[in-house]
Amino acid sequence: MTQQNQQLSKKQNCPRCGKTRIITDNETGEMFCGTCGFVITDRVDSQGPERTFSDSGTNKSRTGDRTSLTRHDQGLSTIISLINKDSSGNPLSSSMKSSIKRLRIWDSRSRTKDSADRNLQHALSELLKMKEKLSLSDAIVEKAAYIYRKALEKKLVRGRSINALIAATLYAACRETSTPRTLNDISGSINITRKNLAICYRMIVKELDLKMPVVDSVQCISRIASQIGLSEKTKRHAMKLLKKAEESQIISGKDPMGIAASALYIASMETGENTTQKTIALAAGVTEVTIRNRCKNLKSLDP
C-alpha cells in the first residue's frame, strides 16, 4: 500500500481500541484502524475528480456535465437509466420493471412540454448533424444555437421550415466567427435549396439586428487551395495579389470566394502549376465566367 493511497485522520476514533490512527485506502475503499486492524467501513466516497462524458469529450468535474446551448434543456435535466438493476446491482422484479418502464415514458414526455420545446429539440438535433458533416468547432455550434433561441423567442419560426432556419443560423454563426463556409456548403449538408437558405438568412439578420463582418477573401484561399492540392508557393503568391487589390480598392463589393478563386488562378499560371478555371470554379463554388471577370480586375494592377 503506497503512501498516496493512505490518508490518516485524527478526527475519528476506532470503535474497538479507541485509537485515533484511522487509515483510508482509496483503492479498496476501506477505512480501518492502523493499530488493531478493525475495518470501520468498506465504502468510502471518492474525493477526486469524477469523469463525466459529454458530446465534446470528457469533462472532469464532481458537479456533473457542463451546460450547453446545443441541448434543448441545456443539459440540466436527468434521465432514468435503461439498466434494470437497483443500487446494489441486483436485478429488478418483473412488477418493478413494468413500473420503471412507465416512468421512463413519462420522463421522456415531460422534457418537451409544448410545441416550442419540440421545435427546439428537432432543430438542435439537425444542428449537431451539420456540425459533423461540416467539421465545425463547438464554439460555432454554440453561437448558432444561441441565435436560433433568439429567433424562437421572437417567434420567427412560425410558418418557416425548421431545417432552413437552423441552417441560416449556422451560416450566420460562421459569418460572425469568420469561418469560411459558403451557402452551398450549408445547404448541401441539410438538403435544402440555396434560395431558401438565403431568404431565411436575410430575415434573421434583419429581425435580430445582427452585425455581420465582411468575409476576408484571404481566408478563402487556403480552403480552395487545400481542395485542389495547390502548393504553398501558389497560395502565398495569391495572397500578395489580394493584398494589392485591397490597397487599390478594386474588389469592394465583390464576392470574396470569386476574388480568391481568381487570385489562385492567376497565381497558378505564374508559378507554373497551370490549374484550369473549371477546377478552381468547382472548388470555390463559383462559375468560370466569374473567375474570368475578376481576373480582368486583378490583371489591371500594377506589377
pLDDT digits (tens, 9 = 90+) for 220-240: 888 888 888 888 888 898 888
DSSP single-letter state for residue 119? H
For residue 1, the model assigns a pLDDT of 41
**Nearest of 287, 175, 284 to residue 225 by alpha carbon:** 284
Ordered structural domains, the chain, with CATH: 6-41 (2.20.25.10), 115-207 (1.10.472.10), 217-299 (1.10.472.10)
**Nearest of 28, 39, 35, 32 to residue 5 by alpha carbon:** 28
Stretch (H or E) spanning 125 = helix 115-134
For residue 146, the model assigns a pLDDT of 92
Q: Is the pLDDT of residue 59 over 60?
A: no
Rounded to two decimals, the pTM is 0.61
Instruction: Give whichever of 196-200, 237-241, 243-247, 251-255 has the largest mean pLDDT.
Output: 196-200
Where is pLDDT greater, at 30 or 98?
98
Grid coordinates standing for 32? 480501518
Distance CA 84, CA 100 (A): 8
- Of 1-5, 28-32, 132-136, 225-229, the one with minimum mean pLDDT is 1-5
- Of 61-75, 183-197, 257-271, the one with minimum mean pLDDT is 61-75
Q: How many CB atoms lie within 10 A of CB 62?
A: 10
